Structure 1
Amino acid sequence: MIYSLQAIVRGTRLVLEPGLRRFVIGPIVVNLLLYGGTIYYLIGNFGGWLDYGMRQVPSWLDWLEWLIWPLLVVVLVLMVFFTFTLVSNLIAAPFYGFLAEKVETRLTGRPPSDERGWIKTGVDAVGRELVKLGYLLPRMALLFLLGFVPGLNLITPFLWAAFSAWMMAIQYLDYPMDNNQVAFTDMRRRLRARWWPTLTYGGCMSLATWVPLLNLVLLPGGVAGGVMLWDRYYRSLPVAAR
């Protein structure tokens, strides 16, 4: 976990250096706009969502309302967080893909194995982001439904927390792997093979997204940190058999 934190801090400093700062401006603008829109939408709708969720609780569980209400709040907040993260990263993917490429070249002295240029890197990054969405959205939907199952809804906040770490690891460690021609299924295999750095890094990135304003630079810093973890833990793993 210590190295994960160090990678994020070091990566944040790195992306603010001359030559890399220009790749951070786009994601910062995107996140500022999304933050404003998300806060506005939450203010207008959160109370209605909460009331609807409480109406779904069966009467025989009324005595647990004191526990169910805060758990429902947590689940709704996590859902908004996941949705915001997915949309933000989809829009910022071209910037992040190219940023990861430049960071790897600067750190290792060699470009990724698939150096593609600005346009192709951007297009491929968006395509890869859609693949991630196809993997993550059904699992998010399942967790959402579990939140309305009596009994199981008591543990869904913990399941969301674990899923958050896994999702953020996929999100930010995939940029250097995509740049190095690691297929999405092989990427997940590598993450499972190094499960401890994977989950600690994903957990750190989950926490980083909750830091107001500072997260505007922590997220691009996480991309650079992901390159460091890729080079340290995942690059040397064998390619999956086809």
Structure 2
Amino acid sequence: MLIKHMQCEKNSLDYFWQGCQLITQSGLRRYVIVPLLANIIIMSLLLTWFFHEINYLLQWGMEYTPTWLHWLGYIMSILIIIVIVILFCYFFSTLTNIIASPFNSLLAEKVEQRLTQQQISNITLVAILKDIPRMIKRELQKFIYYLVRAIPLFLLQFIPAIGHTIIPIAWFIFTAWVINMQYSDYAFDNHKISLKRTRAILYQNRHQSLGFGMIISVFTMIPLINLIIMPIAICGATAMWVDKYQYQVDQLELDFYD
């Protein structure tokens, strides 16, 4: 099994396509339905609000643009919209994941079971529903992790020049990291691995983590495709767990992170 792991040379895009394939497989489709429905309902409501408010949000952002930079109006508008879209996408993802977290965990378990051909646990939907308070607590921990880092980034937007050039790029990279952590965490959580250890393992594989997160971030911004991106991301991230991350859990030294 270790030899198979060492021979695995998949990249982030490979795992994204594997996620696309997995959600269509017989036996897994029924575990995709509930997260998919949650995604569609919440996305539809938030998109309606977003397009209704986008002009107001854009004007609000331009009010904080220094006068001497108004000649860059078009570029500034695009950058402001990018930041708003990134914030919207992550807020949407967080809200959806909190609601659908029990079903996302079940989907990750069934995907791992399919890929390993082994019974992972005796987890049932009833058992997962009983575990909802702990799952919600973990989702909130991830949200707090995001906020603590997002607030300084948000404030840096108001620094002339830097705020409208470097910060949008930093937002995209940071969001990609957090989105990858979000979807990878279901497989880790199914094995009761702490969020701290999960982040450490993902950091060890930061290039692949960021690559996968960037792919998911881009597709999250595409209408219609963003409705099915959540189960695809969970399946792809779980495949990474099976091929790579599970072998690193016992080997990881956390001294640096303590």
Q: What TM-score comes out, normalization by structure 2 length?
A: 0.85
1:236, CA displacement in angstroms? 1.4
Q: Partner residue of 1:161?
A: 172
The 5-angstrom pairing of residues 6-21 of structure 1 reads 6-21=14-29
Question: Letter of the aligned partner of 2:117 in structure 1?
Answer: G
Q: Partner residue of 2:144?
A: 134
**1:195 and 2:203 correspond:** no
**1:74 and 2:76 correspond:** no
1: CA distance, partners of 2:237 / 2:122:
17
* Secondary structure, counterpart of 1:212 in structure 2: coil
**1:37 and 2:45 correspond:** yes
Q: Partner residue of 2:101?
A: 93
Once the two structures are superposed, residues 17-40 of structure 1 have per-residue CA deviations (whole angstroms, 9 ceiling, x without a partner) of 232222211112111112221222
Question: Letter of the aligned partner of 1:136 in structure 2?
Answer: Y
Once the two structures are superposed, residues 55-78 of structure 1 have per-residue CA deviations (whole angstroms, 9 ceiling, x without a partner) of 112223333334322211221222
Q: CA 1:211/1:72 → structure 2, altered by over 3 Å: closer, same or farther?
A: closer
Q: Partner residue of 1:205?
A: 216
Q: CA 1:43/1:187 → structure 2, altered by over 3 Å: closer, same or farther?
A: same
Unaligned runs of 5+ in 2: 1-8
Q: 2:154 pairs with 126, 131, 144, which one? A: 144
1:164, CA displacement in angstroms? 1.9
1:130, CA displacement in angstroms? 1.2
**1:84 and 2:95 correspond:** no
* Secondary structure, counterpart of 1:170 in structure 2: helix
Q: 2:230 pairs with 208, 215, 219, which one? A: 219
1:210, CA displacement in angstroms? 2.6
Q: Percent identity?
A: 33
Q: Partner residue of 1:4?
A: 12
Question: Letter of the aligned partner of 2:136 in structure 1?
Answer: V
1:226, CA displacement in angstroms? 1.0
Q: Partner residue of 1:182?
A: 193
Question: Letter of the aligned partner of 2:16 in structure 1?
Answer: I
Which region of structure 1 is more displaced relative to structure 2, 116-125 or 102-111? 116-125
Unaligned runs of 5+ in 1: none
Question: Letter of the aligned partner of 2:61 in structure 1?
Answer: G
Q: Partner residue of 2:3?
A: none
2: CA distance, partners of 1:197 / 1:121:
30
1:122, CA displacement in angstroms? 4.1
1:230, CA displacement in angstroms? 0.9
- Is the 1:114–1:179 contact (alpha carbons within 8 Å) kept by the matching residues of 2? no
- Is the 2:90–2:179 contact (alpha carbons within 8 Å) kept by the matching residues of 1? no
- Is the 1:96–1:220 contact (alpha carbons within 8 Å) kept by the matching residues of 2? yes
1:125, CA displacement in angstroms? 2.8
Q: Partner residue of 2:129?
A: 119
Q: What TM-score comes out, normalization by structure 1 length?
A: 0.90
Give the paired residue count: 242
Question: Letter of the aligned partner of 1:110 in structure 2?
Answer: Q
1:241, CA displacement in angstroms? 4.6
* Secondary structure, counterpart of 1:16 in structure 2: coil
Q: CA 1:113/1:182 → structure 2, altered by over 3 Å: closer, same or farther?
A: farther
- Is the 2:113–2:119 contact (alpha carbons within 8 Å) kept by the matching residues of 1? yes
Q: Partner residue of 1:230?
A: 241
Q: CA 1:36/1:112 → structure 2, altered by over 3 Å: closer, same or farther?
A: same
1: CA distance, partners of 2:181 / 2:38:
21
- Is the 1:165–1:205 contact (alpha carbons within 8 Å) kept by the matching residues of 2? yes
1: CA distance, partners of 2:122 / 2:174:
30
